[in-house]
Amino acid sequence: MSLSAWVRRARTPAPAPVAREFAFLEPADLFDLEIKDDPEASPVLCCTGDPAGAAAFNALWLKRIAASGRYAGAVSVRGQGGTPAAEGGVEARAHDLVQAAVTVPRQAVFIGHREGASWAALAAGRYPAAGLVLVSPRQFPKQPPKPVGGPPVLLVVSESEAQSKEAQAVTDAYGVAPLTFAGSPDEVFKGAAAEGLLDAILSWLAPKK
Amino acid sequence: MQEYSSQAAYDRGEAVCVIGAGASGLIAVKNLRENGFEVDCYERDTVLGGLWNPQNQHSPLYPNTHLVTSRSQTEIPDFPMPDDWPDYPSAAQMLTYLTAYAKHFGLSEHIWYGSEISTIEPVEGSRFEVIVKPAAGNAARRLRYAAVIIATGHHWAPNLPAYPGQDQYRGTVLHSSQLKDASRLRGKQVLVVGGGNSGVDIACEAAVNAAGCVHSVRRDSWHLPKYLGGEPADYALARLGSRPKFLRRFLTDRILKGPGRLAARMGIDVPDHGPTGEEPVRNGRYLEHVGDGSIRRRGEVARFDGYDVSFADGTEMRPDLVVLATGYRPKITCAPPGLLGVDGDSPYPKLLARMFSPRLETLAVAGLVEPGVGVLPIVHWQTHAIAHWLHVRKGDPERAANFRRQVVSESGQYEIEPSGASPRHQLAVDAEAYLASLGRIIDTLEQEPAK
Ligand SMILES: Cc1cc2nc3c(=O)[nH]c(=O)nc-3n(C[C@H](O)[C@H](O)[C@H](O)COP(=O)(O)OP(=O)(O)OC[C@H]3O[C@@H](n4cnc5c(N)ncnc54)[C@H](O)[C@@H]3O)c2cc1C
């Protein structure tokens, strides 16, 4: 975040606070002796453009992330899932994401899906995410902010989206080539394709802590 | 004289040493690490958070200390406070916040507690030998670092006035930092000396707890309520800062008209410089207490006499308790004064851009400013600049030399006319001008090197 961007934001009315729905699972919650909490591994915070919000990650994601030894969280931004609607556009949703991030015990990796990828990109311009994972981004900002603290960025899209203008925008902005997964961009929450996708993300994260 | 161990200094290579684990030290550690530096932070106390931690042995907190700057103007730019916190968080919340910051960014493992730095010595050109004061029975430790950032704060050495007759005074005198508990005021005739934020806050505590409160103020300052036009006052004023100059003037005058008239009614001469220059008093309750007589204002104390105190206007009183809210002297004892530009008669450091040592490129100070606005964001940008500077300096000597020239030329721009003898004003900067300067400094440092 540049100083001037901060000055501008500090002088703009803050979005109305909302009580955000937040779901999380820690490795210890799984009661599985095989699973070791890795205290060095960055927590993960997920969001999606899907109206279900945090709940979308319940079926598979939170458990599988926690099983990899990481704290796994998901947040519903305003108007999603159990979070009341409130005024404010994408900036307010990015605000919701940053507010969720600072309640996570340690510096978190953002995983954003669909519109959630756009909010995550904006949020990473204000908060030093430990990593930024963009899954099938939609309505991606033309000029996303430079991520604070220079986190590693991963772009994951379905094969059908590999040539999309969104994928291109992300590639241009961060200089990263997309990783593709088999299956539909809307079937990322459960099923075999979803598992493959998630495992690819987790193995990308693994060496980065 | 201190005896140092004969052991050779332990060389920490390219690591940076940060002195102090208050807000400024924590922000420095976080930003240095984010820029790839190894960092050791030394804290003389056993806790983090500096002055916001009541467990810190010398904490200057007084009863019911709350922020005088609002949440959005006080939070660290890349780690906001929870948005369901009040506009003006308490000292306890401030500590919760700083503790969460340290935990979130894993800072504690880089902090050595109970380790006071007694001095630093330049060695091998631009490096430093840092000497940790020994705990009882142990030898002093010496370590070598590539750079040092001093973040020891400036609220530890009380500034104590000496009035005629004060040493023979028979009543109780406390500095504001010694007043830990409002119950000490109960039922007493209290005299509060000092018209800054602490003095005004304590006078308000006395107004509701004590039997009577007299408030001695030497020099009037701007009185702002905590809200203006339905918004936190500092936020409302900062917003005007981004308007064109002529409009800013007009709008500022308009928004300050009410508070200015109220202050005038209470007999306070509003200084003609705007409230953004030096630290204004921010307390909405004070003038109401003056208005209902629970605080009686007096001018400067003239002398103490037995149990009595008399004022410059000739009036007298017999207080049970005198609270000196007379501020602090910025005192940096862990570095040779010359390195900080302290020279001749003035005890105040003269730093380049209010943060870089004028003598050594690898020595900087974080948080030694009174910007009249939230301090943490300023320190965030200062340490961001310092971290980038240390990078540039290592990799590109030519750019470094150019940068040095820029910093020197920027340094004169945000001095505020020293309008008072109070030590606080020596550190004052015009926040708007200082931030703009920090912005230019950071831009230069972040530019891609010309190939
Ligand atoms: C009563 C009061 C109210 C305030 N209210 C506000 C407000 O509303 N808003 C705002 O923005 N600012 C406010 N401030 C200003 C405050 O200075 C900053 O907010 C901020 O806390 C400063 O942090 P710091 O780290 O620079 O200093 P400090 O908090 O003083 O921390 C310095 C640390 O360095 C340690 N240390 C000192 N010397 C050594 C040594 N030789 N070796 C090792 N460690 C050492 C100390 O133990 C301490 O932990 C207030 C200050 C006071 C006194």
ipTM: 0.96
Gap between the Cα atoms of B301 and B314, Å rounded: 10
What is the position in ligand 1's atom list of the atom closest to the CA of B118?
41
Is B285:B203 a contact under the CB 8 Å cutoff? no
Residues 65-104 of A with CB under 8 A from B: 95, 98-99, 102-104
Gap between the Cα atoms of B204 and B210, Å rounded: 10
Phi-psi region of B198 (alpha: psi -120 to 50; beta: other; left: phi over 0): alpha
The residue among B78, B276, B440 with the most chain A CBs within 10 A of its CB, best to mutate, is: B78
Q: Fold for B10-157+329-446, please state it.
A: FAD/NAD(P)-binding domain (3.50.50)
Q: Give, using CA atoms, the residue closest to atom 50 of ligand 1.
A: B67
Gap between the Cα atoms of A73 and A54, Å rounded: 8
Helices (H), ranges, chain A: 3-10, 61-67, 90-101, 115-123, 165-174, 192-205
Contact B83 A7 (CB under 8 A): no
Contact B83 A128 (CB under 8 A): no
Contact A127 B79 (CB under 8 A): yes
Q: Is the minimum CB–CB distance between B442 and chain A shorter than 8 Å?
A: yes
Model's pTM, two decimal places? 0.95
> Would you say the CB of residue B22 lies under 6 angstroms from ligand 1?
yes
CATH code reported for the domain at B160-326: 3.50.50.60
- The torsion angles phi and psi of B219, rounded to 5 degrees, stand at -145, 135
Residue A64 located in a structural domain: yes
Contact A102 B79 (CB under 8 A): yes
Please tell me whether residue A83 adopts helix, strand or coil conformation.
coil
pLDDT by residue for chain B (451 residues), tens digit each? Answer: 444 555 678 999 999 999 999 999 999 999 999 999 999 999 999 999 999 999 998 889 988 899 999 999 999 999 999 999 999 999 999 999 999 999 999 999 999 999 999 999 999 889 999 999 977 777 789 999 999 999 999 999 999 999 999 999 999 999 999 998 899 999 999 999 999 999 999 999 999 999 999 999 998 888 999 999 999 999 999 998 778 888 888 888 888 899 999 999 999 887 766 665 567 899 999 999 999 999 999 999 999 999 999 999 999 999 999 999 999 988 899 999 999 988 777 778 889 999 999 999 999 999 999 888 899 999 999 999 999 999 999 888 788 888 888 887 777 666 554 444 455 567 888 888 899 999 999 998 888 665 4
Gap between the Cα atoms of A64 and A44, Å rounded: 11
Residue A11 located in a structural domain: no
Residue A7 located in a structural domain: no
Gap between the Cα atoms of A186 and A153, Å rounded: 21
Residue A3 located in a structural domain: no
> Would you say the CB of residue B198 lies under 6 angstroms from ligand 1?
yes
Q: Which residue of B has its CA nearest to A101?
A: B79
Contact A128 B377 (CB under 8 A): no
> Would you say the CB of residue B69 lies under 6 angstroms from ligand 1?
yes
**Residue-number span of the structural domain to which A60 is assigned:** 17-205
The H or E element spanning position A111 is: strand A109-113
Gap between the Cα atoms of B202 and B205, Å rounded: 5
Q: Is the minimum CB–CB distance between B160 and chain A shorter than 8 Å?
A: no
Please tell me whether residue A149 adopts helix, strand or coil conformation.
coil
- End-to-end CA distance of chain A, in Å? 23
Structure-token match 């950032």, residue found: B149
Sorted by sequence, the CB contacts under 8 Å of residue B397 that are 6+ apart come out as none
Q: Chains A and B: how many Cβ contacts under 8 Å?
A: 65
Sorted by sequence, the CB contacts under 8 Å of residue B270 that are 6+ apart come out as B220, B222, B223, B260, B263, B264
Residue A92 located in a structural domain: yes
Is A42:A70 a contact under the CB 8 Å cutoff? yes
Number of domains in chain A: 1
Q: DSSP assignment of B166-234, as one string?
A: GGG--SEEEEGGG---GGGGTT-EEEEE--SHHHHHHHHHHHHHSSEEEEE-SS---EE-SEETTEEHH
The enclosing domain of A178 has a CATH number of: 3.40.50.1820
Q: Which two tokens stand for residue A11?
A: 């002088």
Nearest to B151, CA basis, from B441, B434, B363, B416:
B363
Residue A12 located in a structural domain: no
Nearest to A10, CA basis, from B15, B101, B140, B236:
B236
Residue A33 located in a structural domain: yes
Contact A11 B235 (CB under 8 A): yes
Residues 51-80 of B with CB under 8 A from A: 72-73, 77-80
Domain boundaries, chain B: 10-157+329-446, 160-326
Gap between the Cα atoms of B341 and B210, Å rounded: 45
